[in-house]
Amino acid sequence: MIVILAAMDEEVDALKGSIKIKEEKMIHNTECIFGELKGKEVLLAKSGVGKVEAAIRMTMIASLFDVEYLINIGSAGSLDENIPVGSVIIPTILGVHDFDVPDEEWSKDFTDERHTFYPTERLLKIAKTISDDKTFFAPHVSGDSFIYRDDQIEKIKREFPRAKSCEMEAAAIANACEVMDIPYIIIRSISDVTVKKDSEIDYDNFLKKAAKNSALFCERFIAKESQDAL
């Protein structure tokens, strides 16, 4: 089956209505929705917010079910004013912006292989075939903080100058997928532009819009992947 993870209720609900639901139940305190989407068997689950919650849920699901591939949907913050609210952002490489140790060998900007992750190339190629001028493929970072303050933004831009977007779960999900040898892709949509003043207000106003755009791209992706697999 295809597993789809989303952190919050708004992000789950944006896709739930499109699924032909067969069963809903809690598994180890995780909300799980089983059904069919675009002719494919899917499991839509709520991961919870943050790297630990997401990694736990991903690992639990992968240990219980045969996962064909994983899609992580939801919102993200833009680190580039040229990637506006509502855009779909698909990471081509992921890093962890809040991992920091006094280690001379530790390096930033996606150069340390211990905390750098690569979405599955086959799935990225499929996403590119259905993209438009509102879809961006770019480096991305995750960390356990909502990014809106100048000091947070400056730190990320200094240490990960190539990063174009950020959020709180994707790199942890990518880490778990790579450890468990599960193909994956991240499909997020921009809810706020972090480099813009009062971006946290944009987040409150545009979270549902971002969740919807991410969910719609996810649906198109599954339909295209299913077609290509025939």
Residue 192 designated active-site: yes
Residue 81's CB: how many other CB atoms inside 10 A?
A: 10
Of 174, 84, 90, nearest to 137 (Cα)? Answer: 90
DSSP string computed for 24-63:
EEEETTEEEEEEEETTEEEEEEE--SSHHHHHHHHHHHHH
Residue among 80, 192, 202, 225 flagged as catalytic: 192
| Nearest Cα to Cα of residue 187 among 159, 161, 167, 163 | 167
Let me know if 11 is a catalytic residue: yes
Task: Please tell me what DSSP assigns to residue 128.
Answer: H
Report the SS3 class of residue 187: strand
Please tell me whether residue 70 adopts helix, strand or coil conformation: strand
Phi, psi of 154 (to 5 degrees): -60, -40
Catalytic residue among 11, 80, 169, 202: 11
Catalytically active residues are 11, 192
